[in-house]
Amino acid sequence: MSQPAAPIVAAAPSSPGASAAPATSTAPAHGRGARTVLRAVQVLLAVFFAGASALPKLIAHSSAADTFTTMGWGNAGMYVIGVLELAGAIALLIPALQSVAAAALGALMVGAFVVQLACFDGDNAATPVILMVPLLLVAWARRGHNEELLRRVRPRRA
């Protein structure tokens, strides 16, 4: 269900010679709120992936190192996953990349879910599933930016 856009009326000018006709905008009031909430979700996801997820891997914290050793991936795997998570966190904040970044991080979470089931008996399998929900929401909601990204990466024809 879509609600009609409510016009936003600007205050009448206070100078005596100015026109008294109100300026209107047809931007939906609920659309701005939704965009603000979506941006807040993106920032929270970026902070989580950069700080709580990528950082321990990139500084080789014992908790991350032990986990990757248990999986048999060693330090190389730990650093690769950490770099991918950090790149995704940064890209979540760049308008042209945010949809692709959310989809890529969602795919990374699918892999994390499988690893949790295969290597750790599903001890923390819910975490990647929970993270996939807002990531897929961001990927879907920001999908319009994919056209802009394609225009930037496609070579121009003469």
Q: Within a domain: residue 19?
A: no
Is 3 contained in some domain?
Answer: no
Residue 5: inside a domain, yes or no? no
Residue 38 placed within a domain: yes
The answer to whether position 46 is within a domain reads yes
Whether residue 100 is contained in a domain is answered as yes
Token pair belonging to 148: 């802009």
Say what the pLDDT of residue 27 is.
Answer: 46
11-59 pLDDT, tens per residue? Answer: 444 444 444 444 444 445 568 999 999 999 999 999 999 999 999 999 9
Give pLDDT, residue 157. 74
- Total structural domains within the chain: 1
Whole-model pTM: value is 0.76
* pLDDT exceeds 90 at position 155: no
Question: Which phi and psi angles does 41 have, rounded to 5°?
Answer: -60, -45
pLDDT, residue 76, reads 96
Range of the domain at 111: 30-153
In percent, how much of the chain has pLDDT > 90? 68
The set of long-range contacts for 54-58, using a CB threshold of 8 Å and a minimum separation of 24, is: 54/82, 54/83, 54/85, 54/86, 54/89, 55/82, 56/82, 57/81, 57/82, 57/85, 58/82, 58/83, 58/86
Let me know if residue 79 belongs to a domain. yes
Q: How many CB atoms lie within 10 A of CB 87?
A: 17
**How does pLDDT run across 104-127, given as a tens digit for each residue?**
999 999 999 999 999 999 889 999
